[in-house]
Amino acid sequence: MLEGTASAKLVAMAEGPLVSTQWLAEHLNDPGVRVLDCRWYLRPFDMRNGDDEYARAHIPGAVHARWDTDLADPDRPDLWMLAGPDRFAAAMAERGIGDDAFVVAYDDQHVTVAARVWWALRVYGHTAAAVLDGGITKWQAEGRPTDDSVPRHPRAKFTPRYNPSLYATHSDVLDAVGAATRLVDGRMAGARAADGGAIPGSIAAPGIEFTGADGTWASPQEARRRLAAAGANPPEPTIAYCRGGVGACGTALAYAVAGCDDVAVYDGSWTEWITDPEAPRAMDA
């Protein structure tokens, strides 16, 4: 789809699943680039509102989208599942994100919501996507410009092309327990302890732990080292999960940084898993 287009050239120039603040600064006015502000906060741990933060200051030209409403299935509000193809495509089109756009998603490292949007785009076949390394936090720390105006990009055409290999269902995970597929728990240690259980056979590799104090992601070599230390052995079939499908996307991004970009995410994650009384649990998380 992108072969020979301006977006294809941008993909070739980008730094894997990440782009640096310098890269974005150099390409910010490129008509083929769309910047997507994904900021969102998990209450009661952080009482800020992503909509308000966007309105206050964002990277120039960036549009805003919330993973839990704009890009979520309204029929599954209990789980914040990924929106269906028509709803997702409409949300992208309304924001001027079309088939030929190179999308740079960013957050501020509170939780890995930019990774969630990066994963969602790829689920729907839009591989011309990256996460801003260090997010808006690094952007502002470097004194780069921000804006408070809402851009009005022309409506675009976004064609969803579902890639089932990146999306794991409850049934997929049931089949993976005890099989050759690697299950990876993306919850932080405190969340795992509070939840009191895990999916049997899973290893722990929270994606956000692959970021440093400045919010930038580990190098490919370091990401590979940390995954190996956690018990991963890529390439191998892998499904990541967490509590609600966001942290697991951070884990998938960490794998992609390490060179393995085919990790599936269990969208329902632990929140859905525990609603099934027949789903096995390991109680020593």
- Residue 270: CB atoms within 10 A of its CB come to 27
DSSP structure class, residue 198: B
Contact 202, 185 (CB under 8 A): yes
User: Who contacts 43 (Cβ-Cβ below 8 Å, separation ≥6)?
Assistant: none
- Residue 165: CB atoms within 10 A of its CB come to 12
Please indicate whether residue 38 is annotated as part of the active site: no
Structure tokens at 213: 């104090």
Contact 63, 37 (CB under 8 A): yes
User: Which is the catalytic residue, given 38, 242, 249, 260?
Assistant: 242
DSSP structure class, residue 186: -
Element of type H or E holding 227: helix 220-230
| Residues with catalytic function | 242
